[in-house]
Structure formats: structure tokens, C-alpha cells
Structure 1
Amino acid sequence: EEDGDWCYENSFLFADAEEAWVMETGGRSWWVAERVSKGRRRNISNGISIHRPDLLHSKLLETAKAEGWWDGAGDFDWKLVMLGGGRGGLVADDLEPDGREAAGKAWLEKMCKEEEGLRVDVPSTAKMLRDVKSGICMQGGFESVGSQISVLRAGGGRDVHWFTASPDPTTSGYKPFSFKGVREEEVDNDAARRLWLLHKELTSSGKKKVAKVLREKEETLLLSMGEGGASPELFDRCMQEEVEIVKEFTR
């Protein structure tokens, strides 16, 4: 709000084992939401992606017409309106996904079609989230941190959430955690802080060595877990083990 040249809209993905929604915001008040129907796949970045919302702010259409953002004819296209296309000047290509959003969409397509050895699973998703070239995994001035993969199971199965809980997914290992029945005092926050600070001390050479060791541990953990759940004790053990591994390469 203080810098008129800087605009940052937000997208949110809400999902459980039964359904998923994408919600996007614009300005201080406006929002829309799109239900991701069965059989579809969806990804988001920090850009506008919804065209035909299923839910929206009660005053949005009225305001869009009053402000001249939308002429009221035909379907309301949220992305077109938010990019100024309701006043003309945009072509179809301007509304297509680009950047990280386009890269994420391409990854999901390959995973669903099981191309290039990919599948809809934790290892393939981890590869996607470590894709530096496309910008999905950001490095430099803006960095990707706190990366997460969630496996949501229908029928009462225990969901498992894989967290790096540390900077840079290309170096960190994903560690499994389940929220069900967990009390706050069971989570070792001190280990998380230590791990974060240790990762920040790594040199470029150290990062490569740590990444190799942690990737091997990650693969072993995935094989040993199978379809099982995770416990706070397992997550904390993984955190402590990673702390010790990273320590070895910061000395």
C-alpha cells in the first residue's frame, strides 16, 4: 500500500481428501473462489488464475460494473477483469499461465500421465518443488522456504504432511508429520530453530554434500513408511538426525 508501483495479489489452495478449492484475493476486500471438480488438477502461484469463480464477494459484480472494470455482458472473468482486460487491450495469450504457474501445470500434466518416470506421489512432487530452473524453487533475493507435500487419505486414513522445516528445498530433506492427536508440547521447536540456522551456515560445497546425504535418507524413509502414518516422535527424530548431518558440513 505504501509503494504504488508494487502490487501483490494472493492465491490460496484449500484441500482435504474429498474436495479442493482455490481462493484468490484482489485489493483490500475482493475475493473469489473456484471449486476444483473431481478429475481436475490445479496449481497456483502468486498470480491471478481463476476465470469463472464459483463463489465471490457479494459486492464484486456490482462494483466491477460501477468502476468500468466489466460491462456486465457475458460471464464474469475474474482474471480478465483483474488484469484490466475488461477495458480492452488484452489478447488470449495474456490470460494463459506463465512463469512458475505454467511450469507447475506442466509438471502436474507429466505426473498425471506418468511421463518421464513421474507419478502423482511424494518423490515426483519433491522433484517438482526442487525445480530451480523454472523458478518453482526460488533462490537468490527471494527464496523458497518451508516446503510442504501433503498426502490426504480418504476413508479415515491418517494424512501425512512432509515438511522441509528449513531453507532451500534443494538442500533440505522432507520429513513426515501427522497432525492427528498431536499436542503442541510434543513438537520440538528448538530443533527446528537449530536446523534452520545450521542450514543458513552451509557453503555451496556443503549444500551439495548435505543434499546428497539427505536425499538418500528421504528415499529410505519413503520406502520404510509405505502407506503408514507418521508420529511426532518420527518427525523429531528426523529433525535431530538432519541437525547432526548438517553440523558435520558446517565445521
Structure 2
Amino acid sequence: MCDTMVARPGQTKSGALLFAKNSDREANEAQYLQAVARARHEKGALVRCTYISIPQVEETHAVLLSRPFWMWGAEMGANEHGVVIGNEAVFAKIAPQKEAALLGMDLVRLGLERGKSAAEALDVITGLLTAHGQGGNCAHLGRFEYHNSFLIADQSDAFVLETVGREWVAERVGATRSISNTYTIGAEFERASQGLLPQAIERGFVKDGAPFHFSDAYANRKRSAFATGMSRWCRTSELLDARGRHDPQSMMAILRDHGPRAARERNWRPDGVMGGSVCAHASWGPIRRFGQTTASWVAELGQGRAVHWVTGTSSPDTSIFKPVFFGPGFEGAALPDFGPAPGGTFDPATLWWGHERLHRAVLDDYAPRIRAFAGARDRLEASFVARVEALLKRSGSAEEAGRLSQAIWKEAAEAERDWLAQVRRVSPRPGQSPSLLYKMHWAKLGRLAKMPA
């Protein structure tokens, strides 16, 4: 499952907009950071999405994406105009469509490629929903269909869009907002599809003439509870409200949050059949199969800033956020080398799978092994933020920004290699290691991924 957040300029230290997302998917479902250039297309051309082809537009914007390796669409991303979008699986009383159509991830990418502003991207996505619908298998392995919600933002505006099939409702964001795997829009919203209320009346979700509360009418609360959507939405909302004015590091801290219990317990470990933390770790049983954070992203937009702090790797607690300059004011900035695209099995040459050696080593005895390098991670990350901030304050050029980003990415890669060696020197403690079922689950994932022991 996932969590997506935004803090508008009045709630941030720099006066820029902040956007953040954890993408939670299957534990072996590698994600890939991909930059796609602006392009012009011939009249009548089609674009092949994950499952279906739809008419292409005359011109598509340059985009930076984090996408599961096997699909065309993206979990989150940004475009050259400073629009950012993330999506969530949501569960309604109406079953999602099994037949292939557009996936929510396809709609994220299409909104970015075709929308110059948050409002325009909202119109793009709702128009495509009406024309083509959403549906099809969203799972890497097995089957999993769902409806989608979206958080769509640019430097001055932000919207939450929640959908049920081809129907939808949209709310303009105030100061801060988060979404998770549950419907969150109530009786107050900016606009909705024409068929949303008639469908609710026809299906008996609301009486004709009675007040209409969208999430009360449509939400499958039991299914959302299994996905811990409501509890995580409450947690991210609380953290957004409690931490005052935000900066990139405060958003990173929220993405790394394991909940109040983990903060109290020195020997907390990500084990068991139930989860619910913002930073998600997969576990045994059906509930947490989609409970692994496979990539994380924090964007800062406006006030001369177009900085995307991305992990490109799983589990933000074992990862480090690294800057990419992409968007208004940084046109032409060189991007770091994201490396080759990963697949569904272990490949140490790829960024995502290379990191899995560290991530999965930490899971063997979480508490002492994360402590082996968490302090160094935070100090190095803080130094990255300081160097980026210094460049932004003196209005450094796009060329300088590109060089800085490339240098930081190399430093981060070297640090991860050191941290892996440090973690391997911490022997798992007798009686403190994860449960047998947890170890068996991750051993099976390792075999499926063909990871070395």
C-alpha cells in the first residue's frame, strides 16, 4: 500500500511546495527511475500503456518517473513544468474492473506527460477515466485490482482526486493533506463526475435528496482496514500537523516513520501478520504481501526550487535520499546515472537490486543492524541537504546543479557499500531475531528473486 502527502507553501520553511510519497508494492517488485524527454507525435498516433493503446497527443512533456519495472505507468513522478503526482489503491463497495483498461499508474504518467499544471493534469486524468476507464491486474505476481486516488500538485496548487471506476470526486487542498489506501473526501468537495451521485442513489448507498458524503457512501471500510489505510492516513495527517513548518528532511522523517510503538521500543522489529507503519516492510500472510515500501520521493517546488529527493531503492529507513534537479529553472541540468533498468530477479548492477543486499541484511536483526549506520545515514543526508541549499541560495546554474547531483549520487553509493560491511559485522542476536514465519517468508522471496545467500 502507499502514503502520499503535500504541504503547500504557507506550511513550509522555504515557501516552496513539498510533496512526498512512499510507494508500497510487492517485495521483489523493483522500481526504476526513468527520465523521458519531451516529444512530438504524428497525428493519429497511439500510445501503448500497460495493457491498452489510446490516442496519443501532439506533444508530451518531459517527465521523471519512478515506475515498477514491468509496467508502462509510474507510481509517482514529476514533469518539466513542476507538476507532481502520486496515486493510491482504494477500495469501494463496487468491485474494481478486472478487464484490462488504464491502470492508476498509467494515469499518473499520462497526467504528467499531458498536464502543464496541477489543474490541467486533473482534467487530463478525469477525461481519460471517462473515455477509457480503469481496470486490469495491478500485481507483479498473482492478481490485484483496485480503484485509485491521486494527489496532484504544482508549486501553487494541489488537488486530491478519488475515483470509483469511471466516476470521480475532486477536492482542492488547503494547507497540508495526505492520502492513503482509503477514501478521504467527505461532504465538501470542489467538483465531481456527473454520474457519481446518481450511481450512489441507484445502488442504495445514499437516499435521494439526503446529504451526500462521498467516502461514507462508497468506501469499503473493512477492506481498507485490512490495508491499514485509515490508520496510516490518520498517522500521516497527525505528523503533517504536528511538525510545524516543513522542509525536505521533515518529509523524509515522515516517510521513515514506523509509528509510536517503534519510537518507544528499542528492539522494535518489522515482524508479524499486521503492519500499518508509513515505512512499510513486507511480512508473512496475505495482508502484508503488498506492504513493502519499494521507492520513496520528496519534491520541493517553487521559490527557485525544483529538487526531487529520491531513493530509487526500497525502504527509506535503509536508504538515503539523493537530489535530482528537474523542472523550472533547471532545464538542461545533467541527471545522475540511474543505472540499468532492473527486472524481477537479483541484478547487482542495478540500483534497486544492489540496495536489496543492505535492506535484507538489516531485516535479519532489525534493531541493532539499523543502528549500525542510521546515524551516519542522517549525517550524510543532512550534508547533502546543506550543499543543495547553498547552491539554491546563491542561484547556482543548471550546470552546477547537475554536477552537484552527480557527485552526491556517487558519494551515496560509496556510503551504502560501507554500511553493508558494517551491518554484516553485527551478528544476529540469539532469541532476538525475527520469527520463523518471517524468516521463511523472506527466504522464499530471496529464492524467487534468485538472490545469493
| TM-score for both structures, normalised by structure 1 | 0.78
Q: In the alignment, which of 324, 343, 358 is matched to residue 177 of structure 1?
A: 324
Unaligned residue ranges in structure 1 (runs of 5+): 86-96, 113-118
Contact in 1 for aligned 2:326/2:333 (Cα 8 Å)? no
Contact in 2 for aligned 1:195/1:242 (Cα 8 Å)? no
1:161-240 to structure 2, matched below 5 A, reads 161-180=308-327, 181-182=330-331, 186-190=335-339, 194-202=350-358, 203-204=361-362, 208-226=371-389, 228-229=391-392, 231-240=401-410
1:105 and 2:237 aligned? yes
Q: Which has the higher strand share?
A: 2
Contact in 2 for aligned 1:206/1:249 (Cα 8 Å)? no
The residue that corresponds to 2:170 in the other structure is 33
CA distance in 1, matches of 2:340, 2:417: 13
The residue that corresponds to 1:78 in the other structure is 214
Contact in 1 for aligned 2:279/2:293 (Cα 8 Å)? yes
Query: Kindly tell me: are residues 184 and 220 of structure 1, through their superposed partners in 2, closer, same or farther at Cα, counting changes over 3 Å?
Result: closer
**Residue 71 (structure 1) shift:** 1.2
Q: Secondary structure at the match of 1:76?
A: coil
**Residue 101 (structure 1) shift:** 0.3
CA distance in 1, matches of 2:311, 2:371: 16
Query: Kindly tell me: are residues 84 and 143 of structure 1, through their superposed partners in 2, closer, same or farther at Cα, counting changes over 3 Å?
Result: closer
**Residue 7 (structure 1) shift:** 6.8
Query: Could you tell me which amino acid in structure 1 is paired with residue 277 of structure 2?
Result: G
Contact in 1 for aligned 2:182/2:230 (Cα 8 Å)? no
Contact in 2 for aligned 1:25/1:32 (Cα 8 Å)? yes
Q: Secondary structure at the match of 2:339?
A: helix
Unaligned residue ranges in structure 2 (runs of 5+): 1-96, 99-136, 138-143, 222-228, 260-275, 284-290, 343-349, 363-367, 393-397, 422-453
RMSD, aligned α-carbons: 2.9
**C-alpha deviations, 1:12-46, integer Å up to 9, x for none?**
111112111001122x2222110113xx3211112
**Residue 163 (structure 1) shift:** 0.8
CA distance in 1, matches of 2:147, 2:177: 18
Contact in 2 for aligned 1:210/1:246 (Cα 8 Å)? no
Contact in 1 for aligned 2:307/2:323 (Cα 8 Å)? yes
Percent of matched pairs sharing the same residue: 27
Query: Could you tell me which amino acid in structure 2 is paired with residue 71 of structure 1?
Result: K
Q: In the alignment, which of 198, 203, 208 is matched to residue 62 of structure 1?
A: 198
Query: Kindly tell me: are residues 191 and 249 of structure 1, through their superposed partners in 2, closer, same or farther at Cα, counting changes over 3 Å?
Result: farther
Q: Secondary structure at the match of 1:247?
A: helix
The residue that corresponds to 1:125 in the other structure is 251
Q: Which has the higher helix share?
A: 1
CA distance in 1, matches of 2:354, 2:337: 16
**Residue 192 (structure 1) shift:** 7.9
Query: Kindly tell me: are residues 161 and 221 of structure 1, through their superposed partners in 2, closer, same or farther at Cα, counting changes over 3 Å?
Result: same
Query: Kindly tell me: are residues 227 and 187 of structure 1, through their superposed partners in 2, closer, same or farther at Cα, counting changes over 3 Å?
Result: closer
Deviates more, 1:40-49 or 1:223-232: 223-232
**C-alpha deviations, 1:147-172, integer Å up to 9, x for none?**
11111214xx2321111111110011
| TM-score for both structures, normalised by structure 2 | 0.45
- Size of the alignment, in residue pairs? 228
CA distance in 2, matches of 1:225, 1:34: 33
**C-alpha deviations, 1:156-214, integer Å up to 9, x for none?**
x2321111111110011111112125569844231786332221012126654443333
Contact in 2 for aligned 1:191/1:239 (Cα 8 Å)? no
Q: Secondary structure at the match of 2:305?
A: coil
